[in-house]
A and B are shown apart, each in its own frame.
Chain A
Amino acid sequence: MPVTDQIVVRCRKGDVRAFHELYEAYSRAMYNICLRMTGHSSDAEDVLQEAFVQVFKNLEKLESDSSLTAWIKRIVVNHCLSYLRKKKVSWEEVGEMEAAVETEVDEEAHALTVSMVKEAIRELPDGYRTVLNLYIFEEYSHREIAALLGITESTVKTQFMRAKEKVRQLVKLKIKQ
């Protein structure tokens, strides 16, 4: 039986230490999701806390053949999306849906740094940032993102391309500075 499954069994019995072990195992990765999605450390902590309350309460409902990691991640992502919806973030397209063109970020690749990209992503509008994070960092498919956000797959693709283009522009500006 995998270690994580043993933790789940112990949590279901009300073992406080098991809850802490579960939290320790997942909190950092899940906090990073919250941080990328909300863009603020204190909001990320609030969202993480709410998500873990739900994780702990619903462990009984976790089916034995499901992936614990994927299940926890889905709860965390849904809480992040609720947070963004409360902020009135919309992922719907406004205006024309022009064809997105793939662009690359490495015109000055030698000068490109992780901190620049991080900063550029943080500066993205909430809607773009969400789609970009879900696709690149959380590795959801365009179809899964469409279902999560309640928009069409083509809108997801367009939003993703625009988000990448915006990052490219922001990074270019940073390199010139």
Chain B
Amino acid sequence: MKLEDFIQQHRSEFEEEGPGPRVWAALEKELPVRQRPTVVRMLARHWWKAAILVALIANAGILLKMNAKKDAGVVLPEIAEMQGYYTTQIEQKLDELKALPPEELGLDSTTRRELEIRNDTYKLLERELQNNPGNERIRAAMIRYYQMKLELLDRILSEHEKYNDEIVTPSNKKDVL
């Protein structure tokens, strides 16, 4: 039997294990990955938060356009009650968020400002509601706005919690990515 035939017959037995982890560890530092600016990287990580904020703003914009010609009126008690309920909930979540260090939360100052309950979008919506107290669409939009904001805050808080858990879990050290 020729040597090459013997080797071909036992080809897989000639294969050794792969390289040690040091090779990838070194390669990882030299990857030709363009470093994106900090704000862009932050946006990439928190894209869904940005998307919700855009949705909130767009939602408010459509409402303003729809109701621009309506007459002024007074705030109905049930709307005031709904506002009070959601405002309290949102403020509680915001307090929780404010208690966390900004760098740990991973949000830039613009996003943090957007999260504040008294932002411009909110004020515009509120003014429109005052001008159109009986309008069901505005009322429904307000509720949707509050719910989205609550959901957003909940997700930020739960993500933060999950992120902190991941940091302290040793098994994650294996995940090189």
Which listed segment binds B: A1-9, A78-86, A90-98, A105-113? Answer: A105-113
Whether A153 is near chain B, meaning CB under 8 Å from some CB there, is: no
Q: Given contacts A136-B4, A137-B7, are A32 and B16 in contact (CB under 8 A)?
A: yes
In the bound assembly, the distance between CA atoms of A14 and B16 in angstroms comes to 31
Interchain CB contact under 8 A, B31 and A27: no
Query: Which secondary structure dominates chain B's binding surface?
Result: loop
**Which residue from B8, B14, B31 sits with its C-beta under 8 Å from A56?**
B31
The answer to whether residues A106 and B6 also contact, given A17-B177, A23-B24, A114-B14 and a CB cut-off of 8 A, is yes
Which among B13, B31, B33 has the highest number of chain A CB atoms within 10 Å?
B31
Provided the pairs A57-B32, A118-B14 are in contact, do residues A20 and B176 lie with their beta carbons within 8 angstroms? yes
- Complex contacts, B3 vs chain A, CB 8 Å: 104-105, 117, 136, 164, 167-168
Q: Do the beta carbons of A23 and B27 come within 8 Å of each other?
A: yes
CB-based contact A104/B1 at 8 Å: yes
Knowing A20-B176, A28-B17 are in contact, say whether A105-B26 is a contact too (CB < 8 A). no
CB distance from A50 to the nearest CB of B (A): 10
User: Do the beta carbons of B23 and A52 come within 8 Å of each other?
Assistant: yes
Instruction: Please give, as numbers and ranges, the residues of chain B lying within 8 Å of A167 by CB-CB distance.
Output: 3
- A interface: dominant SS: helix
With both chains docked as a complex, state the minimum distance between the C-beta of A115 and any C-beta of chain B, in angstroms: 9
Complex Cα gap A114–B11 (Å): 9
Q: A52 CA to B17 CA in the complex, in Å?
A: 18
A14 and B7 contact, Cβ closer than 8 Å, known pairs A20-B24, A31-B18, A104-B1: no
Bound Cα distance A48, B25 (Å): 13
Interface residues of A in 90-142 (CB under 8 A from B): 102, 104-106, 109, 112, 114, 117-118, 135-137
A: contact size bracket:
35 or more
Q: How far is the CA of A102 from the CA of B31 in the complex (A)?
A: 47
Q: Smallest distance from the beta carbon of B15 to chain A beta carbons, Å?
A: 5
For residue B103, give the distance in angstroms from its CB to the closest CB of chain A.
22
Given contacts A20-B177, A57-B32, contact A27 B18 (CB under 8 A): yes
A49 in contact with B2 (CB, 8 Å): no
Shortest distance from the beta carbon of A18 to any chain B beta carbon, whole Å: 10
Asked whether A49 lies within 8 Å of B26 as measured between CB atoms, the reply is: yes
From 157 to 171 in chain A, residues with beta carbon under 8 angstroms from any chain B beta carbon are 164, 167-168
In the complex, which residues of chain B have a beta carbon less than 8 angstroms from the beta carbon of A31?
A: 16, 18-19, 23
CB within 8 Å of B: which of A31-61? 31-32, 35, 44-45, 48-49, 52-53, 56-57
* Min distance, Cβ A26 to any Cβ of chain B, angstroms: 10
**Residues of A near any B CB (own CB < 8 A):** 14-17, 19-20, 23, 27-29, 31-32, 35, 44-45, 48-49, 52-53, 56-57, 102, 104-106, 109, 112, 114, 117-118, 135-137, 164, 167-168
Q: Chain B: residues with CB nearer than 8 A to chain A?
A: 1-4, 6-8, 10, 13-20, 22-24, 26-28, 30-34, 176-177
Leading 9 A-B pairs by shortest Cβ distance: A28-B18, A31-B19, A106-B1, A14-B33, A114-B13, A136-B4, A49-B23, A105-B3, A114-B10
